[in-house]
Chain A
Amino acid sequence: MLNPVPKLHLVVIGNGMAGCRAVEEILERDASRFRITIFGAEPRVNYNRIMLSPLLAGEKSFEDIIINGQEWYDDNGIDLVAGDPVVAIDRAAKTVTSQSGRVEVYDKLILATGSDPFIIPVPGHDLQGVISFRDMDDVGTMLRAASSGGDAVVIGGGLLGLEAAHGLSLRGMKVTVIHLMNTLMERQLDEAAGWLLKTELEKRGQQILTTADTAEICGDGKVEGVRLKDGREIPASIVVMAVGIRPNVKLARDAGLAIGRGIHVDDHLVTSDANIMSVGECVEHSGQVYGLVAPIWDMCRSLADGLVAEPSGYTGSVTSTKLKVSGIDVFSAGDFSGGDGCEDIVMRDAARGVYKRVIVKEDKIVGAVLYGDTADGNWYFDLLKKQEDVSEIRDALIFGQAFANGGGAGSSPFDAVAALGDDAEICGCNGVSKGKVVACINNGAHDLDAVRSGCKASASCGQCTNLVEGLLALTLGDEFAGERQVKPMCKCTSFTHEDVRKAIVEKELKSIPEVMQAQHWTTPDGCASCRPALNYYLLCAWPGEAVDDQQSRFTNERMHANIQKDGTYSVVPRMWGGVTTPNELRAIADAADKYGARMVKVTGGQRLDLFGIKKEDLPAIWADLNAAGMVSGHAYGKALRTVKTCVGSEWCRFGTQDSTGLGIKTEQMTWGSWMPHKFKIAVSGCPRNCAEATIKDFGVICVDSGYELLVGGNGGIHLRGTDLLCKVATEEETLEYCAAFIQLYREEARYLDRTAPWIERVGIDYVKSRIVEDEAGRKALAERFAFSQSIYQVDPWAKRAAGEDAKLHQHLAEVRPFAGAVA
């Protein structure tokens, strides 16, 4: 049939994925516009280059990976010139010339020349047996090498290199991968995922050398091995270079088209010559060069729209990588480098070998890296591309689409958890499924802590605490109190005091930021509740090693005085055992006058308290009191406060022992020690108990035959009489038991627990078992207390009086409005 208008001639250079896809798109829009000729360098029809890896691995045959067979060319009247590459373009004459001398005139020309593998120009790169991994011929070479076994080296630990290594490994070769960077696939994976991949590949028998730089490929005419710059030599009968690709721009450059890294094209994939277009890996669009298949499909659509339909315009592609490397699923998309305003949501499941990281910025996903389980990759990628606000589903985001959408849009984690299947993973850290958590609850774990100890769910990073609580509520219904028996430390964490103290010791955490990081604090720097607790726990666990953080101390401990309601302070010098001297009293009286103490009061703990001292006068009054031999009375601290005594056998007609002397010895041993809360001691000389030892944290009642040791008393809001710990015969024993008891309290009570509630909780029998029945344990406790005291028993007043932290007591400046200046 004669066509009234002769068809335009479209010539396509490149019979690969881009060139043929462009043709497909054009045909789909207008099958009759062009007469089409396709030139291909390879002597075969259009096949799927991505599938070369399974081909090498033996999972596919060539027939399996053909995209368009000969009949497609025939059916569409396409003239395929295979195995005869174009070598020149004459833009003026609008002709192309092939290697064999064939000349074709074109009306429109598409360059789809793809990319060339980058060959690093080390000595020996041209030896026989050095190949790339780009086409069927390379695969053929590899298969021939593999058939005789032996060693293979793959240079490049990117996607292509690892695919080649996997294939060769499956074909029975011993493979070594040499990678210049320190993690594999650093462009697609972050460090954590790269490390997981390396570990897994090594398990499968490949040798992976990272931070390895090739110096030379050795061999006499044929490859024999690779030598690294650090001197190592690896034998090889084949070397695959897979260090990267670069756009093939030779024809375009020779033809005088505008090029950069690739062939410059506009939004309709038109080059600097209006009759020449270009698509695929050879193209540079808006400064971007792509090496993945998805952008190529986008480009081909825009090219066809521009050429034969409504121009749509290509605006660049956001790329994602979802692939299997050696059977391991990996996925990445967007920007995962982190940075300002970026927030990471991370889930790790060591048991299943899963690592997921989603990067959120301003409530939108900007990047994602998935390793081991990539099922939700497309969902994350979709949210990323659409720039959707994820704040509503943020809590459930990392658990995937099924989870986050479980109860419909805007669902709470509670609804989401109900919708989950039994296999769904709740705790990523410990790999605990919903089914396991529910079974654990049904077996009697009726609160969070029981679940944590029962099946380990939520016991590591704590991020899934909400979900576990949701399951508790769901499974137990009304039986679930919602309240945990043991409450978390504060709103900044889901962990209890005990959990945190255990972690500090076991993980050797020695600073507050370290604890917050390791225990997944939900606030940047804690709160006024957890910071002082953490500071104390660290000082207690690591005496001398942990740094005392002044900014995490309550003002009283920071100022070493008691703040009063008017903002002034009260000052209490230490009087050992409540005993003073005329000289000390004179010094106290003088100080009271000099610094304008508005009241001097005798305290319940047998001390004198000077009220109304200004913050800025504190160092001076301390210096005066120090000069008279007095030290800080720690009346302001969560610390040993006072040892109260009666006069005892020295003066009292009823006294049985030297209670005053023992009180002084006790105070000299214990002063200056930081505690979970204030700690009071008393020593009474007889059972009449004038020192009120039965309402103290540690009390001693002297009797004829020795000393009754009493613990856990409190005269505060909840009056509690002491429990009898035991009776001992000597002062030495009294001191050892006292030290051991204090240390047990220091190590095990929660911050801001007095001894009374602590003993109510753990039971006096427990305390007895540790202090009375376990002699070795008691001595060890006493020794730890002594060690701590060797570091912390210092007079803070003396340091301040000598000028330490002077800023704490001084104003920054003063404003005098009418002098018009800042002084």
Chain B
Amino acid sequence: MNPEWLDIGPLDQLPAMGARTLPVRGGEEIAIFRTANGQVYALVNKCPHKQGPLSQGIVHDTTVTCPLHNWRISLVSGKALGEDEGCVPTIPVKIDGGRMFLKRDAVLASVETPKLAEPAQCKAA
């Protein structure tokens, strides 16, 4: 019944070196990024520092710089780069037939219900 991957729309809806947002009812908003090379990544749209909307940051290489205080977050690992420490959950993405799919359980990880356990976690601090 519930597919493993959620279709979130066509790839051309996502600007290169930019991001779009995906609100999740009852959970954390997700930011979907596209790099200059066309790779697509998804993170919870909250900087680990002061919860700034990462989707509004400048995307360079595989990094986004938070618009609030210039923390640099890796799109690949969700980890803060450089001197800063912190981590934001990542959501697996796949592209198929020109459409973007997000891993369903990762999207719903922050939704609080008994059925959907396991809050999103970063792999290894």
Contact = CB atoms under 8 A, between A and B. Distances in A.
A542 interface: no
Contacts of A531: 58, 60
A387 interface: no
21 contacts: A528-B58, A531-B60, A532-B58, A551-B59, A552-B58, A554-B67, A556-B67, A558-B56, A559-B56, A563-B67, A563-B68, A811-B21, A811-B23, A812-B13, A812-B22, A813-B22, A817-B24, A817-B108, A817-B111, A817-B113, A822-B9
Nearest to B32: A812
B48 interface: no
B122 interface: no
Interface of B: 1-2, 6-9, 13-18, 20-27, 30, 32, 36-37, 50-53, 56-61, 63, 65, 67-68, 70, 72, 107-108, 111, 113, 116
Given A528-B70, A552-B58, A812 B9 contact: yes
A814 interface: yes
A524 B62 CA distance: 10
B18 A551 contact: yes
Given A528-B57, A813-B9, A551 B70 contact: no
A818 interface: yes
A144 interface: no
A815 B107 contact: yes
B60 A812 contact: no
A29 to B, nearest CB: 56
A807 B10 CA distance: 13
Contacts of A807: 13, 15, 20
Interface in A497-532: 523-528, 531-532
A525 B36 contact: yes
A551 B58 contact: yes
Given A524-B37, A551-B16, A807-B20, 11 more contacts: A527-B65, A528-B57, A531-B58, A551-B18, A565-B68, A567-B56, A810-B20, A811-B23, A812-B32, A814-B25, A817-B27
Contacts, number: 102
A820 interface: yes
Nearest to B14: A812
A555 interface: yes
Contacts of B57: 528, 555
A816 interface: yes
Given A523-B60, A525-B61, A531-B60, A567 B20 contact: no
Interface residues of A, number: 32
A553 to B, nearest CB: 8
Nearest to B24: A815
A565 B14 contact: no
A812 B20 contact: yes
A565 B58 CA distance: 17
Contact of A815 (B13, B20, B23, B70): B23
Contacts of A813: 8-9, 22
B26 A563 contact: no
Interface string A536-576: 00000000000000111111101100010101000000000
Given A525-B36, A811-B23, A814-B22, A551 B17 contact: yes
Nearest to A513: B36
A815 B6 contact: yes
Interface centre among A553, A554, A556 (most CB of B within 10 A): A554
Contacts of B68: 563, 565
Nearest to A528: B65
Contacts of A555: 56-57, 67
B78 to A, nearest CB: 17
